[in-house]
Amino acid sequence: MLTQVVNDWVKLFPELKRYKSGQKILKRFGPVVYGIELEKYLSSEYRPRIVAYSMIANDSRLCTIIDHTIRTEGYIEVSIKYAQHSENYLPASHLLKGQSKIDLFGKPTLEKIIEAIIANVKADFRNCFWPCRAVMQLSRLIDDKVKAEVYFEEGFDLLKKKTPAQWLEMETKGLENWKMGIKNLTAEKIDILINENIEKYRFENIPQA
């Protein structure tokens, strides 16, 4: 059943491709992989989620920078019973298109991706260390240096606001030095990290926007 579900969603979003025979359909734009996860919610149903992952971080696991379940007008998370998939996935896809802040069709800009991450951070009450860090890292690739610094500082301000100070100090092992390390990231270093992660997570076959 999962294969049929994934195939139906791929038909709706043909620019995305199934990742490693799982429940994610994805594409890549530069340092970010993004798309839809058809998350198994209960044994009998699944939830479509909008997801994005950073290719810059060199952590031991893939860093999720957007994780957004779609919701009805009553702000109820949408889940679809596998048995009722054929009747319900089209309405769910319309909700997803309307709520995704990253254009799942065509080619986005890096600025739009950064703004989508920021919007999700502002709406999220959880620890937002990884998406805020991604905003800071991605800002290093913006050609407009004034705009790059605005994004960088916004990401850093949200990081301090959304992350408990004790946890943040432990994770960064010195916040100011950590901040300067990101500020001084070069495009060449970022390219190395991106290529390492593409190979590590086998994203070579994911289509590019």
Strand, helix or coil for residue 176: helix
pLDDT band of 125, cuts 50, 70, 90? low
- pTM equals 0.92
Q: What is the pLDDT of residues 54-82, one digit of tens each?
A: 999 888 888 899 998 999 988 899 999 99
* Structural domain boundaries in the chain: 2-200
Tokens of residue 91, six digits:
């309405």
List pLDDT tens digits, range 14-50: 999 999 999 999 999 999 999 999 999 888 999 999 9
Query: Vertex 143, ends 31 and 128: CA angle to 5°?
Result: 45
Q: Of 29, 72, 34, whose CA–CA distance to 50 is shortest?
A: 34
Distances in Å between the Cα of 151 and the Cα atoms of 20, 101, 115, 140, 141 are 33, 17, 9, 9, 11
Give 198-207 pLDDT, tens digit per residue.
999 999 999 9
Cα distances (Å, whole numbers) of residue 11 to 6, 14, 56: 9, 5, 30
